[in-house]
Structure 1
Amino acid sequence: MNDKQYINWIAMSDVALAQTIGAFIKHHRLVQNRTQEEVANEANISRSTLSLLEKGEAITVPTLLQVLRVLDLLYIMDVFKIQEQISPIELAKIDQQKRQRARNSDSDNSKKSDW
């Protein structure tokens, strides 16, 4: 599917998903050349909790958010942003209400035609 690797998230088990998240965290921690101890201290969690997260074990959402914040990875939360979408019918109604022509702003009928 183009150049992007296709992953069937629906077919993955919860354990596999947690392991994918853990691998993501570990990868970015190592890219930033930070130890588990450093990241854990900044996130106010224990090093063992961070280790569990990186292994794909069960952790809480607030813990995940703390680690994402420390690693400057909160941008991934953009996928959860709700964007209002207009249905095609509503869009058509809005288009019908748009002005089609401009009128002369002179509403005064005092102008007499030379005809």
Structure 2
Amino acid sequence: MGNTSINYTQMSDGAIVAHIGRFIKHTRTTQNKTQEQLAKAAGLNRWTMSQIENGESINLSSLIQILRALDCLYILDGFDYSEEISPLEYAKLKKRQIKERVRNKTSDKSDKNDQNDLGW
């Protein structure tokens, strides 16, 4: 799985599923586990493991169970994201904050004047 030159965008869905199956099989055999052992650890049956390793479709829950059993949940790090604001939106936000501070200072001054006004 160390090949980083794979262009997933040009692969069909079936080819990607087969690639995942090969990864699972490679990782399983590297860990010296049988399909039966991995299936049991993942809470699946051996037939399902065989189908997945042979490139058959897999549901997301099964994939997560298998990755957990293989101690490979680190793969999900690729799904991590952070909310970022564009520079233009940041500038607009800062401008709004400045306007609100000015507006609040103005209203604070008028409140103080109202408090000093004894109505005489």
Root-mean-square deviation (Å): 2.1
| Structure 1 residue 82, shift from structure 2 partner | 2.5
Q: CA deviation at 1:26?
A: 0.7
Which residue of structure 2 aligns with residue 36 of structure 1?
Answer: 35
Aligned length in residues:
95
In structure 1, the gaps of 5 or more residues are 98-115
| AA matched with 2:76 | M
In the TM superposition, what whole-angstrom CA distance separates every residue of 1:65-109 from its partner, at most 9, and x where no partner exists?
100000001111111122111212245567898xxxxxxxxxxxx
2-structure distance, mates of 1:9, 1:60: 19
Report 1:35-54 matches (<5 A). Answer: 35-54=34-53
TM-score by length of 2: 0.69
Structure 2 counterpart of 1:15: 14
Percent of aligned positions that are identical: 49
CA distance, structure 2, for counterparts of residue 50 and residue 16 of structure 1: 17
Q: Which SS does the other structure have where 1:10 is aligned?
A: helix
Q: Greater helix percent: which structure?
A: 2
Unmatched tracts of structure 2, length 5 or more: 98-120
Please give the alpha-carbon distance, in whole angstroms, between the structure 2 residues aligned to 1:74 and 1:5: 19
Partner of 2:87: 88
TM-score when normalising by structure 1: 0.72
